[in-house]
Structures are given as structure tokens and as C-alpha cells.
């Protein structure tokens, strides 16, 4: 078990290193921070002073070495736009993003999971078809389209809710309603298929043949088995808590990590972008590792594979 965790940690650090290196070079090769931050009309002395101040006139390789050195000591650099530490800027945005992504995740699970289970218990019925239609609509509608439609209905037509900003809870309602359907739809479809698969298994027939009441078969035999593959999807959804709302935050001018990322990429604010990417990669890795752990808790067959692998 310890070697398993060790291997996973090594793999995770390798992933982090690759993401950081790729981001570092792609960002620097794809645009000039001085031009993007100051202006295309800025005098050339100002531009070269800017480059000298941020060390951009040095060769890329030495820039990279000093970047790695500072990251390893916990220094993620400063924002070129306002000079504040990048980590501080990002840390401020995280709770703001979670304020919409976490309720959206809960809402998605609350809607999607029961809908998927009920649809699987009545396959081919009108209810099943309605759920699947809604699910496909939910995860295939682009969030900027859904966001604009919601703004049009709730802000423009009825004037019930604000269309942007973040001063009180009312501002969070539309972003949450925009984010939730894709999670709900994905989950509903996935759980329905997992349940249908499990319900056709021989052990469900055995349970029926030994006189287990249908309700108990669903709750005790089918659901725990269907939960195993569903954990993967849940892990993916949790991994998206930080990074999944870039578009929605831009549509609703919600000052979270997503909008910070969009603005920072546009102005080539290297330190901030890299800091956000680091955070996003970390959430993804953590989510994936929790999925593996949950798998082992839910499925005894995984425990054994792990034991023999050791």
C-alpha cells in the first residue's frame, strides 16, 4: 500500500512538472508580455525597461531555471499587471469560484443521480425518454448559450436576477443554474447506463430468486455496484470545481479563478497563469487519487489486485 501511494505521488509530481514546463514555454513563445501589458504604442524604452524588470530579456533557459528555483522555494512570482504575489491573487479567487461551482456540483448530483436511477428502473418508458432527452440537452448545450438564455429570461425579460457581478447571493444564482445542467446530464446518463448494466447481471437474478424484495435489491445490490463506475465521473466533476467555470465566469463577470485565468492569459501575465494551472492540475490529481481510493473502498476486487500487485 505504501509503495502504491509512493508511485502515485511520483507520477503526480511528474504530471505537475510537465504541465508547468509546457505552460512556461508556450506562454512565452506565443506572445510578448511587454506589448500585451503596456500597449502596442508604448515607447521602446518603456518596453525594454519592463522586460528588464521582469527578467524577460534573459534567454528562455535561464528564465526557466530561475522560475523552477523560485517555485521550489514556494515563490510563485508576481503579477505583471499589479505587482502583487500571484499566489495571493489566485488564493483570493478560489473561494469566489467555489461559491458557484460547489453548489452547482451539489445541484447536479441532486438532480442527475436520482433521475438516472429512476430512468434505469423504467427503461424505455416516457419518463426514461424525457430524462435522457433532458440529459443530452444538459450536457451538450454550451454554457455561454445557456448562460445568455438564462440572462435573457431572468434578467432582461423578468428582471428578477442580476445579469453579472458578485455583490450578493443573488448574483450567484444564474451562474449556478448555468453550470449545474451539464453535470446533472452527464451523471444521469452515466448512472442510468451503470444501473441498467448492473440490473442485467446474474447476481441480481439470484437476489430475485432468493426472494429479496425489489426495493432492497435496488438499494442493497444494484446501487452499490452501479456506484463503482459512477465514481470515475464524480471524480472528473470534482476535478472541474476550479477550472470548469472559465466561460461561465466570463459571461457573468464573476471574479473567480476562471475569469482571472482568462484575463491573465490575454495579457500574458505569466506568473498568474502558471499559478492557476498549477492549482488546476493539483485539483485534478487530488480528485483522481481520491477516485482510486474510493474504488478500493467500494470494490473489494480492487483491494485484492492492489494486494497482489504489491
For residue 303, count other CB atoms closer than 10 A to its CB. Answer: 14
| Single residue of 133, 140, 205, 219 touching another protein by CB under 8 A | 205
Q: Which of 19, 23, 13 is nearest to 271 (CA)?
A: 23
Q: Kindly tell me which of 106 and 219 has the beta carbon lying closer to another protein.
A: 219
Subset of 38-97 contacting another protein (CB under 8 A): none
| Single residue of 53, 160, 203, 219 touching another protein by CB under 8 A | 203
Helices 257-266, 86-121: inter-axial angle, 10-degree rounding: 120
| Single residue of 1, 160, 213, 266 touching another protein by CB under 8 A | 213
Give the cell for residue 57. 530579456
Closest CB 128 distance from another protein, rounded Å: 16
Candidate segments 146-154, 189-197, 208-216, 246-254, binder of another protein by CB under 8 A: 208-216
Q: Does residue 219 interact with another protein by CB under 8 A?
A: no
Check residue 74 and report its DSSP letter. Answer: T
Q: Does residue 25 interact with another protein by CB under 8 A?
A: no
Closest CB 127 distance from another protein, rounded Å: 18
Check residue 218 and report its DSSP letter. Answer: I
Number of residues near another protein (by CB under 8 A): 22
Rounded Cα gap, residues 28 and 67, in angstroms: 13
Q: Does residue 125 interact with another protein by CB under 8 A?
A: no
Subset of 289-308 contacting another protein (CB under 8 A): 298-301, 304
Rounded Cα gap, residues 81 and 91, in angstroms: 17
Q: Does residue 225 interact with another protein by CB under 8 A?
A: yes
Check residue 79 and report its DSSP letter. Answer: -
| Single residue of 211, 308, 309, 310 touching another protein by CB under 8 A | 211
Q: Kindly tell me which of 102 and 127 has the beta carbon lying closer to another protein.
A: 127
Check residue 181 and report its DSSP letter. Answer: H
Question: What is the gyration radius of the CA atoms in the chain, in angstroms?
Answer: 24
Q: What is the separation of C-alpha 249 from the centre of its chain, rounded to a whole number of angstroms?
A: 13
> Given 3-state DSSP classes, what are the helix, strand and coil percentages for the chain, each rounded to the nearest 5?
80, 0, 20
Q: Does residue 206 interact with another protein by CB under 8 A?
A: yes
Residues that bind another protein (CB under 8 A): 201-203, 205-214, 221, 224-225, 228, 298-301, 304
Amino acid at each position: 500500500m505504501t509503495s502504491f501511494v509512493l508511485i502515485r505521488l511520483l507520477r503526480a509530481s511528474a504530471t505537475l512538472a510537465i504541465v508547468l514546463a509546457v505552460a512556461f514555454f508556450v506562454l512565452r513563445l506565443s506572445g510578448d508580455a511587454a506589448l500585451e501589458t503596456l500597449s502596442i504604442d508604448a515607447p521602446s524604452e518603456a518596453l525594454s525597461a519592463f522586460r528588464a524588470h521582469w527578467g524577460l530579456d534573459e534567454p528562455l533557459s535561464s528564465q526557466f531555471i530561475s522560475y523552477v528555483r523560485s517555485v521550489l522555494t514556494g515563490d510563485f512570482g508576481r503579477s505583471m499587471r499589479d505587482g502583487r504575489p500571484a499566489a495571493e491573487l489566485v488564493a483570493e479567487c478560489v473561494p469566489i469560484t467555489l461559491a458557484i461551482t460547489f453548489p452547482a456540483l451539489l445541484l447536479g448530483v441532486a438532480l442527475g443521480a436520482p433521475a438516472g436511477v429512476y430512468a434505469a428502473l423504467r427503461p424505455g418508458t416516457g419518463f426514461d425518454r424525457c430524462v435522457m432527452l433532458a440529459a443530452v440537452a444538459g450536457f451538450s448545450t454550451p454554457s455561454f448559450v445557456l448562460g445568455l438564455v438564462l440572462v435573457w429570461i431572468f434578467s432582461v425579460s423578468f428582471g428578477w436576477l442580476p445579469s453579472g457581478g458578485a455583490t450578493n447571493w443573488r448574483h450567484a444564482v444564474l451562474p449556478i443554474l448555468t453550470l449545474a445542467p451539464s453535470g446533472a446530464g452527464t451523471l444521469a446518463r452515466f448512472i442510468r447506463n451503470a444501473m441498467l448494466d448492473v440490473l442485467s447481471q446474474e447476481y441480481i437474478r439470484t437476489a430475485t430468486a432468493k426472494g429479496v424484495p425489489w426495493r432492497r435489491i435496488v438499494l442493497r445490490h444494484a446501487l452499490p455496484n452501479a456506484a463503482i463506475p459512477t465514481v470515475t465521473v464524480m471524480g472528473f466533476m470534482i476535478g472541474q470545481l476550479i477550472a470548469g467555470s472559465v466561460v461561465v465566469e466570463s459571461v457573468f463577470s464573476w471574479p473567480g479563478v476562471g475569469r482571472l485565468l482568462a484575463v491573465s492569459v490575454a495579457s500574458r501575465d505569466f506568473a498568474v497563469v502558471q499559478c492557476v494551472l498549477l492549482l488546476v492540475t493539483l485539483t485534478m490529481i487530488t480528485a483522481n487519487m481520491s477516485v482510486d481510493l474510493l474504488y478500493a473502498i467500494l470494490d473489494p476486487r480492487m483491494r485484492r489486485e492492489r494486494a497482489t500487485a504489491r
